[in-house]
Structure formats: C-alpha cells, structure tokens
Structure 1
Amino acid sequence: MKLVVLGLSLSSSWGNGHATTYRALLGAFAARGHDVLFLEREAPWYAEHRDLADPGFCRLEYYPDLAGLECWQDEIAAADAVIVGSYVPEGVSVGRFVQAHAGGLVAFYDIDTPVTLAKLVRQDFDYISPGIIPGYDLYLSFTGGPTLARIEREFGSPAARALFCSADADTYRPIDVPKRWDLSYLGTYSPDRQPALERLLIAPARHAPDLRFVVAGPQYPADIDWPDNVERIDHCPPADHAAFYSASRFTLNVTRADMIAAGWSPSVRLFEAAACGTPILSDAWAGLDELFEPGREIIIAETAEDVLQALGQDSAALGSAARARVLARHTAAHRAAELETYLA
C-alpha cells in the first residue's frame, strides 16, 4: 500500500523520542513491501541536529509551513492511508487538511497519549482537538489498557487501537564494549520526570561515590547539582544507543506523571534498552508487568535503597530475559505487522 506519514521528525532524534520510533516502525513497514512518504515540517532546531539525512526505506520530504502542504495534496489524495502524528506543528490544521483531501483511510498516531489527553482536558489544542478526532478513521495510541475505551467513549474515535513503540532488532543489540557505568539514563529533560531521576539516580550516586553513573540527553537546566560520579552527555545519537546501553551494567527507565497515571505507556527506551540485553530498573506503573515480568525481566525500584540493592546483584540473567521478551513480542517487525492489520 501507499502510506503518507506527517510526523514530528524522522530526520532528527534531538530532544524527542519520535524519530527512533518512526524509523523502526516505517523501516519494518517498508520491508513488508509498502511505499512510504514521510512529510516533516521544517524546524531550525531539527535541521541543526539531523542524524538521518537519507532513510533509505522511505522518501523523506520537508514542507516549510501549512501552505506548503498544498504541494503534497495529490500524494495525500492518492495514498491508501495517511497518518498524522502527535506534536506535529499546527497539527489541528494539518489534520483538517488531511481529512479534507485524503482519498483513503486517515489515522492519528499518538506517541504521547496521556500527555495528549491531559492537554485536551485543559483545552490545549495545539496538535489535536476534540473536533477532529472523530474524523480520523483510526486512533493509534502509544498507550493501551483502559485509555483506548476512553478515547472512543469521551472523544468519539471510531476505532482506538494500541500501537506501542518498539525496537529495531538490527540496530538495538548487545555490543561487546567495556562497562563504563553502573547505572545509566538516556532521556531528554522533563520537569515531571526529574523528581524520579533525582530519587533513583542522583540520590544513589550521592550514597555510592565509588559507583559510576551517567545521564545522557539535552535540555537539562544548568543549575542541577550533579554529583561528581555522574557523567553528563548532552546528546547521544541513535547510532550510539546500542553501545551506550551495552556499556551500562544497568539502565534506568523513569516515566512522566501523565503516563504513570494512565498506565500501559511503555517508553521506546524501555524496548531499546532491553533489546540490547541491558538490565533495566524502572519506576512502577499499571501494565508494566504485562510487558516485562518483574524480578525476572525487569526490576521495579521505588527508592534509592532499591536501586543500590539492585546494583549489587548479578544482572546477566535479567538482561538476557528482557532481550528475549523484546525479540518475541516487541520488535519493529511485530509493530509493522500490527499496523498493517489495523490499516487493512
């Protein structure tokens, strides 16, 4: 089939988790024989940090503004399906344009579902609004569980379906590198994730000066008091993710408040780290135990003491079990097959 995707970014992973999610999903979707066009809104902050100039698996094109989408009207009309992603600039107007001109199925792919629903409650409609949700034939949600029924019941979606993030098994795999850190964290700064990061990484670092920690990701405020044994990396591009995780004895997953409240909202980093065979410590949320078995495939940590106790354990079996779970259920190939089924 011919698929057109209008997403936040495919070209740049700087400051967002959308790019690696789209790359894995669409690469696997194209491998199933489909034709994909990705339309990305030009943005200077992504243009300065592009780490995928030519995807290879799809056409990547840019449009300067809403009026520039008119150049792609014929492609949108001829597509079997058109997907508009969350956080697309002027997403409500983009959605209206797509719904007006698409000749095939139209879908919304929400990689931020709990955040989106909280914004809708606040009447913050920068990329989606209650008025256009019923016009999407399909609402693909980063979040599963009870949230899907809520999207249909409260917002009038004809069909809400879970499409979790995934890991590209060819890219995310164990790499034979020396262990540099006892605990790592990879993620862009977020104010509502920071308290958990303070509790589950910074506090343990203060209590264990002999251990080594690292936080990789942009936009962290300059006034954060990092302990001496916490290394900072401003940006770790996707090409370096597998080596980053493989150099970590454990890695940390912390979750935004809206996503904890909704549950069933696994970060793409969760699957990527597990695919690398890296043992994961995570905060707790409903639905996590349906993805990874606590104690065997993942360790739930609520306090600094929990973290320090886990860091004293042998981690090899945990990482291997988590990798096996991802390879069995959560690769990009699995998600591409799910997407194909939903669209069909």
Structure 2
Amino acid sequence: MKSKKLNIAFFGSSLVSAYWNGAATYYRGIVRALSECGHHVTFYEPDAYERQQNRDMEDPDWAKVVVYEATEEAVYKCLEDAAGADMVVKASGVGVFDELLEREVLKLQTDERLVVFWDVDAPATLDRVHNDPNDQFLELIPQYDMVLTYGGGDPVVKAYEALGAKKCVPIYNALDTATHFPVEPDARFACDLAFLGNRLPDREARVEEFFLKPAALNMNQTFIIGGSGWGDKQMSDNVKYVGHVYTKDHNAFNCTPKAVLNISRESMARYGFSPATRVFEAAGAGACIITDYWEGIDFFFEPGKEILVARDGAEVAAIMADLTEAKAKEIGEAAYRKVLSAHTYKHRAEQLEQLLYAKVKRTKEALA
C-alpha cells in the first residue's frame, strides 16, 4: 500500500537491553520490520534497572535510540522532541514515570498526529484498573486514538472496548528472522527439557507445576532453567540453573535441548491468545515446543503436530517420558515451517500499516 512513511516516536522500556525486560525482542522485531517498510522510529528508553549496563546490542541502524535519565526533566525533554512525530506510542511498563507519560503523550495528540497506547502486558494492565476504580489510566483509555496489545484476542479487545477504547487491536508476537534461526547445538544447553524465563510473582507457581514438578518426576532426564532470579530456588538435582541467558545465546538455547518449555504467566494464561515471544523464537530455531495450555493455541500452531500441549506438570512429565529425538525433530520442523509462513514480524508490520493507514484515511475524510 503506497502511503506516507511515518515518523514514529516510541516510549518503551528498552530496545537495546533484554535485562529484566521481556518485551525487548518484541520491540526489536516490530521496530525493525517497520523500518524495513520505510518508517522511521525513534525509541525513547530510560536509564533504569541496570539495563544500559547489561545491553545485549549496540544502537541499531534501523532505529534511533534515545536513552534519557530517569528524571521528570528528562522525560519532558523527550516529550518535547517527540512533538515532531507523525505518531507517538506509549508502551506499557516503561518502568519509570509511566503515569506521567500516559498522561502527557495525549497532549501531543492533534488531527494530524496519532497517539497510541501499546500494551505489552494487557492482562496485567486490565487486572490493575479493574481492581482500582481510582486508577488514572481509566480516564485516559478513551482518549487514545487506539490501543494496540501484545496479545489477548477477543477477551482483551472486549475488555478494553468496555473501558471506552476507540479501537483495540492485538499485534501478536512473532518471529524476527534476522535474529532467531536454527544454529548448531551448544553443549552448555544440552538436556532433555529447557525453560527460559525470569522469576516473576505471577509465573513462579506455574514454573513449579509445569517445570520443577516434571523434573522431579523424571529423575532419569536432565533439565535446564535460564533467566534471572532463580538462584535460590529449590530444585531437584537433575535441574541445572544457567542464570540470565543473553539474546545472542537464545538460538543455541532453543536448538540444543530435545524440547523447550513455554510457561505462560498466570494472567496471560487466564485471558488466552497470548503466546509469549519465546514461542515464536523457539519455533524459528526449529525447536520442539511443549506449552502449558491456554485458549487460542490452535490460532497459531496445530497441537500435536506443530506444538505439544500440557494442562499440568504430570502431562509434561508424560510427554517427556514418551518423546523421542525423531518425534521432537519432526514437531520442531513443522513449527518452523508454520512460523515462517504466517508469524514473522513482516506479517505483523503489514497488519499494523493497514491499520494505521485506514485510521489516517478516516481522519482526513472526517476533516474534509
């Protein structure tokens, strides 16, 4: 579709560091794909949570990265700079001055400039506002031109529309083919089943059920857990903890084990239609994925052929007891074919372009 290429100002947690920042690879995939479509993105991220000290990439050539101090003064300076954009995006979970940004970006809204809220953790946001009638964000939702979400399907769309959102559209996670692809196995990650995810309050109980319990039931097999925060967690002797896994090692982490496990956070599983970024990353590396059950899995992958599904830890243990190397390879290859055909960030960027151009067209017609 030929139309104006957009100058986009994007306020998010971090583009250059995945440290305590699970949305990093999602941002990278979306922003890179938008750049390849000809749009220009300036990504504003705060110097917070030691992310800049734990970068896993240099500033890319497909986006301008502005790192600002975690002060109000610096935030306002970035907002002033963003006033030159065609579209301003405020992502959820920036980590510092979120309320200020949610409020102040709306002051940049004009007939010519879209202001969008991009929720990378919609279930958590919706739970928060439903539990606090005084939450400032409730009165801001109807003011945004649209709400984009990292996932959630109809349940999240309907929940946002019920709160007054003009339009809510999921832009799902996907595969960034430039960064996630099959590689040679790495002995550091050799095991039967691996799980990668930071230790978070609404994930921990599910990790105990879907990963640590099956490990304890299958003592003749080996398990690896990666991510921040698990160091003092009690685990059976056949579980190895490898700490934070940098994105440069994600492909090897996904390619090497017989299978990799996806465990949704509790809120994501409850709303459904919220595949984690790592599902697509693992599929892009040709991994055999076992996932906990959530509504909408078959919207993305065919259970039993392209992904294996478990409703509890006992089912994970049973799957692992029967899973052969040949079967795991067959499932991984099927997932790889599916993700390339339907779930890359190029697919998502094209969806987003159509959405934005339709919005711009409607606005122009309304003003005519």
Q: Of the candidates 97, 110, 119, which is equivalent to residue 119 of structure 2?
A: 110
Alpha-carbon distance in structure 1 between the residues aligned to 2:339 and 2:169 = 20
With 184-193 and 74-83 compared, the bigger mean Cα shift is at: 74-83
With 178-187 and 275-284 compared, the bigger mean Cα shift is at: 178-187
> Is 1:325–2:341 an aligned residue pair?
no
Summarize the alignment of residues 162-181 of structure 1 with structure 2, pairs less than 5 Å apart.
162-177=170-185, 180-181=190-191
- Structure 1 residues 202, 134: CA separation in 2 closer, same or farther (over 3 Å shift)? same
* Alignment-mate amino acid for residue 53 of structure 2: E
For the 8 Å contact 2:145–2:166, the answer to whether it is kept is yes
Q: Of the candidates 63, 70, 95, which is equivalent to residue 68 of structure 2?
A: 63
For the 8 Å contact 2:12–2:92, the answer to whether it is kept is yes
User: What is the root-mean-square deviation in Å for CA atoms of aligned residues?
Assistant: 1.8
CA shift for structure 1 position 141 = 1.1
* Alignment-mate amino acid for residue 9 of structure 2: V
CA shift for structure 1 position 29 = 0.7
Q: Which residue of 2 aligns with 1:135?
A: 143
With 21-30 and 178-187 compared, the bigger mean Cα shift is at: 178-187
Cα deviations by residue, 1:202-224 (Å, 9 ceiling, x for unpaired):
222222222111000002261x2
TM-score by length of 2: 0.88
Q: Which residue of 2 aligns with 1:211?
A: 221
* Alignment-mate amino acid for residue 354 of structure 2: T
CA shift for structure 1 position 108 = 0.7
* Alignment-mate amino acid for residue 167 of structure 2: A
Q: Of the candidates 53, 56, 65, which is equivalent to residue 58 of structure 2?
A: 53
Q: Of the candidates 226, 239, 261, which is equivalent to residue 235 of structure 2?
A: 226
With 7-16 and 176-185 compared, the bigger mean Cα shift is at: 176-185
Alpha-carbon distance in structure 1 between the residues aligned to 2:82 and 2:289 = 41
- Structure 1 residues 318, 272: CA separation in 2 closer, same or farther (over 3 Å shift)? same
CA shift for structure 1 position 44 = 4.3
- Structure 1 residues 34, 261: CA separation in 2 closer, same or farther (over 3 Å shift)? same
Aligned residues: 341
Q: Of the candidates 59, 75, 86, which is equivalent to residue 81 of structure 2?
A: 75
Summarize the alignment of residues 1-344 of structure 1 with structure 2, pairs less than 5 Å apart.
1-64=6-69, 65-88=71-94, 89-103=96-110, 104-123=113-132, 129-142=137-150, 143-153=152-162, 155-177=163-185, 180-220=190-230, 222=232, 224-311=233-320, 312-313=322-323, 314-344=327-357
Instruction: Write out the 4+ residue segments of structure 1 that deviate beyond 6 Å after TM superposition.
Output: none
Cα deviations by residue, 1:64-120 (Å, 9 ceiling, x for unpaired):
223213323443222111110011222221122211124410101111000110011
For the 8 Å contact 2:186–2:252, the answer to whether it is kept is no
Alpha-carbon distance in structure 2 between the residues aligned to 1:124 and 1:241 = 41
For the 8 Å contact 2:8–2:42, the answer to whether it is kept is yes
* Alignment-mate amino acid for residue 193 of structure 2: L
Higher relative contact order (CA 8 A, sep 6+): 1
TM-score by length of 1: 0.94
Alpha-carbon distance in structure 1 between the residues aligned to 2:254 and 2:31 = 23
For the 8 Å contact 1:66–1:94, the answer to whether it is kept is no
- Structure 1 residues 177, 52: CA separation in 2 closer, same or farther (over 3 Å shift)? same
Unaligned segments of structure 1, at least 5 residues: none
For the 8 Å contact 2:102–2:137, the answer to whether it is kept is no
Sequence identity percentage: 32
Alpha-carbon distance in structure 2 between the residues aligned to 1:7 and 1:111 = 10
- Structure 1 residues 191, 124: CA separation in 2 closer, same or farther (over 3 Å shift)? farther
Alpha-carbon distance in structure 1 between the residues aligned to 2:134 and 2:118 = 16
- SS of the equivalent of 1:48 reads helix
- SS of the equivalent of 2:245 reads coil
